[in-house]
């Protein structure tokens, strides 16, 4: 987007607010709605022409410009404000790198909406869903259920269904033996006992609860005690308990305790059946995840927040010691005073980096992502699918799980006859991360130019072979992960490597606590 002249920008009235927020990503939008509900005056600006920032759902033709924007700096207009302010220039940075796009975008490409945060779903009992219900944001977004029993585990070159409920356990005769069925049934039963015990009036027999000693074990050790097969352990660890890294106790970057695993399984289990029209544990927003920040922005606007798109923040207004932020200078040249300024993570303030709270170390965290447009579903008669590649399932260098989400035209994100597939895996090394994503793509799909008779992927549940879906278009890239900061300048987190929004909301809560405590 071409930089606008200062006289092309609107004049904002009033010129002083309790909170100024730059960027309309999900955390910023949640904070705007929360501040508005708390009675604070809010100015919410975004340099982009649409809502969502790093959490947008963008038309496929616009994706390259989002991932690899033209180099530019935020224009710093001539000073027209109070000379007592120390002006600190702001810069924008790109959190995406190593972008590789293959194939021609299928037509009509403008009808394909691509999530920057994919793969991503919401648990039906997710805190994000509760926030939407409490704030009224649920009136502005519609969800579809991720089909129950649609999670698949990639194991030794084949896809196996992951039983995610009591009903699915006893229907699964192809991949579960009697011992595994009984253990999984008892595991879900124990989880229900923990849910009941957590309720104030809940009752549960002590014999039905997992001992404190077992809860403190690494979850993989707890599962191994029950003599499960390696395949079933991988299914529980990576497809239900959502462990990210290899849970080998000798080399894991982050071991999941049984307590943490049970908490996630409890969330998973309690999400099944929460809503009458949701078969499984997960939901996905119609038209893409970019609808979520828009829903919270509408809630904030109802509470009086003022919105201005296409409005970059060009500089900070600091006190003489450069310790406290007093406001922001907009690209229009107008100075806006505020008690608290919040920036999205694409803004970089070099002069303040040295005094931050150590968030620079977060820049080492990265996630490799992939997006594919394919010709047919990975699994026949399934529109929405979750697929998990456990660590080391593709190669020894694969230290983390790869998660895959397939979406269909039922969600209004692509035309009929096409499917969008998102892949992601956390990585420390960009080359290794991209290599893992590409290997997962090769395992699931056939390239467009390949012979369609080469390569088969077996579906154990039906004991037959289907041709791999063909990749029409693909994109692989790497994204930096940073958490929100609560130093002298507040900033919000980037999209992370997880399948849901729990960590992002936890980070946003810390920022909100700082805002309300300061105000």
Last residue of a domain, one of 236, 271, 306: 271
Per-residue pLDDT, 1: 39
Residues forming beta bridges with residue 479, ordered by sequence position: 96, 367
In a domain, 306, yes or no: yes
β-pairing verdict for 113-115 and 57-59: antiparallel
**291/254 same-domain check:** no
Kindly report each contact of residues 134-138 with a partner whose C-beta sits within 8 Å and lies 24 or more positions away, as own/partner.
135/33, 135/37, 135/296, 135/299, 136/299, 136/302, 137/33, 137/292, 137/295, 137/296, 137/298, 137/299, 138/295
Q: Which ranges in 366-501 belong to alpha helices (H)?
A: 430-444
Per-residue pLDDT, 447: 84
**Residue 198 belongs to domain with CATH number:** 1.10.405.10
CA–CA distance, 300 with 307 (Å, rounded to integer):
9
**350/488 same-domain check:** yes
In a domain, 325, yes or no: yes
pLDDT in tens, the chain (519 residues): 344 555 578 899 999 999 999 999 999 999 999 999 999 999 999 999 999 999 999 999 999 999 988 765 555 555 555 567 788 888 888 999 999 999 988 988 889 999 999 999 999 998 889 988 988 888 899 998 887 666 899 999 999 888 766 667 766 656 677 777 788 888 888 777 766 775 645 454 555 567 788 888 899 998 888 777 888 899 999 999 999 999 986 666 688 998 899 889 888 888 888 887 777 889 999 999 999 999 999 999 999 999 999 999 999 998 887 778 899 999 999 999 999 999 988 888 765 554 444 444 444 789 999 999 998 999 888 889 999 999 999 998 899 999 999 999 999 999 999 999 999 999 988 999 999 999 999 999 998 754 444 444 444 444 444 588 999 999 999 999 988 776 667 889 999 999 999 999 998 888 888 887 766
Per-residue pLDDT, 460: 44
Per-residue pLDDT, 512: 87
**184/221 same-domain check:** yes
**334/304 same-domain check:** yes
In a domain, 43, yes or no: yes
Whether 304 contacts 38, CB under 8 Å: no
In a domain, 292, yes or no: yes
Range of the domain at 315: 6-94+127-135+287-363+484-518
| pTM for the model | 0.88
**358/507 same-domain check:** yes
**304/175 same-domain check:** no
> Cα–chain-centroid distance for residue 90?
27
In a domain, 344, yes or no: yes
**239/264 same-domain check:** yes
Q: Is residue 88 within a helix (H) or strand (E), and if so which, with residue range?
A: strand 86-89
In a domain, 413, yes or no: no
In a domain, 379, yes or no: no
Burial string for 368-392 (b: 16+ CB within 10 Å, else e) reads bbbbbbbbebbbeeebbbbbbbbbe
**491/342 same-domain check:** yes
Residue 421, token pair as written in the block? 């597939």
**267/332 same-domain check:** no
**319/177 same-domain check:** no
**Residue 328 belongs to domain with CATH number:** 3.50.50.60
Question: In total, how many domains does the chain have?
Answer: 2
CA–CA distance, 370 with 471 (Å, rounded to integer):
12
Per-residue pLDDT, 298: 95
Last residue of a domain, one of 271, 298, 330: 271
In a domain, 114, yes or no: no
Last residue of a domain, one of 271, 304, 325: 271
Neighbours of 461 (CB within 10 A): 17
Whether 303 contacts 1, CB under 8 Å: no
CA–CA distance, 76 with 198 (Å, rounded to integer):
54
Per-residue pLDDT, 243: 93
For 122-253, where are the E strands, in sequence order?
A: 122-123, 143-145, 151-155, 158-161
**343/489 same-domain check:** yes
**175/264 same-domain check:** yes
CA–CA distance, 62 with 66 (Å, rounded to integer):
7
């Amino acid at each position: 987007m071409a930089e606008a002249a200062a006289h092309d920008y609107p004049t904002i009235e009033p010129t002083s607010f309790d909170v100024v927020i730059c960027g309309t990503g999900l955390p910023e939008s949640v904070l705007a709605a929360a501040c508005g509900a708390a009675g604070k005056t809010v100015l919410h600006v975004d340099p982009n022409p649409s809502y969502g920032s790093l959490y947008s759902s963008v038309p496929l033709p616009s994706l390259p410009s989002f991932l690899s924007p033209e180099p530019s700096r935020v224009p710093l207009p001539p000073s027209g404000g109070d000379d007592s302010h120390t002006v600190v220039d702001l810069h924008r940075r790109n959190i995406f790198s190593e972008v590789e796009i293959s194939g021609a975008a299928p037509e009509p490409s403008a009808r394909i909406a691509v999530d920057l945060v994919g793969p991503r779903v919401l648990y039906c009992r997710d805190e994000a869903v509760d926030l939407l219900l409490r704030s009224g944001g649920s009136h502005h977004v519609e969800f579809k259920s991720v089909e129950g029993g649609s999670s698949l585990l990639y194991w030794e070159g084949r896809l196996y269904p992951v039983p995610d409920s009591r009903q699915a356990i006893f229907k699964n005769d192809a991949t579960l033996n009697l011992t595994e069925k009984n253990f999984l049934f008892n595991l879900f039963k124990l989880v229900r006992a923990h849910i009941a015990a957590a309720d104030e009036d809940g009752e549960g027999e002590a014999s039905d609860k997992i001992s404190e000693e077992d809860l403190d074990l690494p979850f993989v050790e707890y599962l191994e005690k029950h003599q499960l097969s390696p395949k079933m352990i991988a299914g529980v660890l990576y497809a239900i308990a959502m462990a990210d890294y290899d849970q080998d106790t000798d080399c894991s970057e982050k071991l999941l305790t049984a307590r943490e695993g049970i908490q996630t399984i409890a969330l998973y289990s309690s999400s099944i059946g929460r809503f009458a029209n949701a078969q499984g544990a997960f939901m996905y927003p119609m038209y893409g995840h970019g609808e979520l920040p828009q829903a919270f922005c509408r809630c904030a606007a109802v509470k009086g927040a003022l919105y201005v798109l296409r409005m970059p923040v060009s500089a900070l207004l600091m006190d003489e010691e450069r310790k406290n932020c007093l406001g922001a200078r907009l690209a229009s040249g107008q100075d806006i005073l505020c008690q608290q300024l919040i920036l999205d993570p694409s803004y970089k303030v070099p002069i303040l980096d040295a005094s931050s709270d150590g968030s620079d170390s977060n820049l080492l965290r990265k996630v490799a992502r992939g997006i594919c447009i394919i010709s047919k579903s990975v699994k026949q008669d399934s529109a929405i699918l979750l697929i998990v590649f456990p660590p080391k399932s593709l190669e020894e260098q694969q230290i983390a799980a790869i998660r895959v989400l397939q979406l269909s035209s039922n969600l209004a994100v692509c035309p009929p006859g096409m499917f969008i597939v998102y892949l992601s895996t956390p990585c420390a090394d960009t080359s290794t991360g991209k290599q893992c994503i590409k290997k997962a793509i090769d395992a699931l799909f056939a390239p467009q130019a390949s012979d369609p008779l080469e390569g088969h992927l077996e579906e154990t549940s039906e004991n037959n072979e289907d041709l791999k879906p063909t990749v029409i278009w693909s994109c692989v890239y790497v994204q930096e992960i940073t958490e929100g900061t609560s130093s002298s300048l507040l900033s919000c987190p980037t999209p992370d490597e997880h399948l849901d929004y729990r960590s992002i909301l936890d980070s946003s809560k810390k920022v909100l606590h700082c805002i309300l405590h300061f105000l």
